[in-house]
Amino acid sequence: MNNLAVSSAAAGRTLEAIQLCEETLQLRKANPGPNHPDTLQSMNNLANFYGAAGRAQEALKLREETLQLRKAKVGPGHPDTLKAMDELANSYVVARRIQEALQLREETLQLMKAKLGPDHPDTLISMNNLALTYVAADRPDDALALLNETVQHRQRRLQSQPGNRLEQSFLAWTHGQMGEAEQARCRLAAAVKAYERSLELFTELEQDGALKHPFFREKMDEYRQRLALCRKAERAVKDLDFALQQPAAEVPQLLRMRVRYLLKEQKLPAAVETAAKMKERAGDQAASLYDAACLYALCAGAAKSPSPPAPLPEGARREKLADEAMRLLQQAVAKGYKNIDHLKKDDDLKALREREDYQKLVKELEEKK
């Protein structure tokens, strides 16, 4: 039953997999018992299937329960426990509970270093995962420092195993992650360099017929897209007209990158001008109105800083920017924006969190949901 559930999920028949795995889990809890390794494996599988079906809260709850049972059964340093910790951290990231994910991944990494050693494959994957979480937590400097260390360990493993194609794939992924961290730091030239190195390694593997795992193929495609975007963004952050002349699907991404870059450079009026262009292009499209609201909210957050970079023009005052962000957000909801979970957790909207009209909007959306 367990194997059929796994095969059903692999075939894309997720609902059948969930139904069968739920039945299997209940039978295993009865016999051989709730703490048996087979029962815990069914719990882990069911959490994965819930996640694949978009039932993130159910997956998270089940993974919390699984981790506690594994700690009690085999101890905090057992490989199965460490894997359960990492999977629970994944659920925390999906739920945007980033600080909990960080704490758990930092703890996992320390245990893996102590139990498995700093060069163990699982330890290095844990380092990669922690770096990704640092980026999600807006700590790209910490991510980059950890990724530089990870590259050194992976290169050392390749020196002793030069034909290890899997390790070469992980190294390519790590360089791509460095690109993500540099992109988050708005250091676009460095991001381009890192993505180019990642793609160089991935392309060599592909040409040799050694890039077969779907995860790495997806990453190669993702980094190819990120590289193309960052190359354009290097010019777009300095030339608004250039950004606006790009293909329609790329313009919103370039404008978002431009706003973040300008705010980092403390050029708030230029960032506000860019947000206004996003608003002009939004029309009555819910997703585009939401994107424009996010850019105005980012600008409002920058204007709120203790030492604003101006004197600011009237249109760039914090209150006006926050008001405009809120107006656009309300328009987005009126036009059909319904992703309440994302809206509540989106860090771009941080400047609006304490406003009564924002809280009222969230409450109304939750009631409708």
Each residue of 30-46: pLDDT tens digit? Answer: 999 998 989 999 999 99
List alpha helices for 54-164, DSSP H.
56-74, 79-94, 98-115, 121-136, 140-160
- Looking at the chain, the whole-number percentage of residues with pLDDT higher than 90 is 85
pLDDT of residue 318: 87
pLDDT of residue 300: 94
pLDDT of residue 76: 86
pLDDT of residue 312: 54
Tokens representing 200 are: 């160089």
CB 318 within 8 A of CB 303: yes
**Environment class of residue 25 by beta-carbon count within 10 Å: exposed (0-12), middle (13-18) or buried (19+)?**
buried
Does residue 283 form part of some domain?
yes
**Distance separating alpha carbons of residues 140 and 230, to the nearest angstrom:** 17
pLDDT at 79 over 90: no
Name the phi and psi angles at 353, rounded to 5: -55, -40
Q: Which of 155, 114, 112, 115 is nearest to 130 (CA)?
A: 112
pLDDT at 123 over 70: yes
Confidence of residue 253 (pLDDT cuts 50, 70, 90): very high
pLDDT of residue 342: 86
- CATH number of the domain at 41, please: 1.25.40.10
Tokens representing 265 are: 């450079």
Q: 28: Cβ–Cβ under 8 A, 6 or more apart, which residues?
A: 36, 38, 39, 42
**Distance separating alpha carbons of residues 32 and 154, to the nearest angstrom:** 41
Tell which of 67, 95, 115 closes a domain: 115
Does residue 327 form part of some domain?
yes
Q: Report angle CA 272, 275, 278 to the nearest 5 degrees.
A: 160
Kindly report which listed range (147-151, 242-246, 301-305, 339-343) carries the lowest average pLDDT score. Answer: 301-305
CB 161 within 8 A of CB 167: yes
pLDDT digits (tens, 9 = 90+) for 300-322: 999 875 555 555 555 568 899 99
Q: Which of 329, 340, 315, 237 is nearest to 282 (CA)?
A: 329
Count of the separate structural domains present in the chain: 2
- Looking at the chain, the whole-number percentage of residues with pLDDT higher than 70 is 97
pLDDT of residue 96: 85
Q: Which of 130, 155, 159, 158 is nearest to 145 (CA)?
A: 130
Does residue 191 form part of some domain?
no
Q: Report angle CA 263, 268, 269 to the nearest 5 degrees.
A: 145
Residue 198, classed as helix, strand or coil, is helix
pLDDT at 13 over 90: yes
> What is the mean predicted confidence (pLDDT) over 354-362?
95
**Distance separating alpha carbons of residues 90 and 51, to the nearest angstrom:** 10
pLDDT of residue 341: 84
CB 255 within 8 A of CB 232: no
Tell which of 81, 115, 149 closes a domain: 115
pLDDT at 198 over 80: yes
Tokens representing 360 are: 């009222």
Does residue 228 form part of some domain?
no
pLDDT at 5 over 90: yes
pLDDT digits (tens, 9 = 90+) for 147-168: 999 999 999 999 999 899 999 9
Q: Which of 39, 45, 40 is nearest to 18 (CA)?
A: 45
pLDDT at 221 over 90: yes
pLDDT at 23 over 70: yes
Tell which of 84, 115, 146 closes a domain: 115
Does residue 16 form part of some domain?
yes
pLDDT of residue 301: 93
Half-sphere exposure of 321 (CA within 13 A, CB side): 29
Which structural domain, as residue segments, surrounds residue 342?
Answer: 275-368
Does residue 98 form part of some domain?
yes
Confidence of residue 248 (pLDDT cuts 50, 70, 90): very high
Does residue 312 form part of some domain?
yes
**Distance separating alpha carbons of residues 71 and 200, to the nearest angstrom:** 42
CB 117 within 8 A of CB 82: no
**Distance separating alpha carbons of residues 133 and 112, to the nearest angstrom:** 17
Does residue 247 form part of some domain?
no
124-149 per-residue burial string, b: 16 or more CB within 10 A, e: under 16:
bbbbbbbbbbbbbbebbebbbebbee
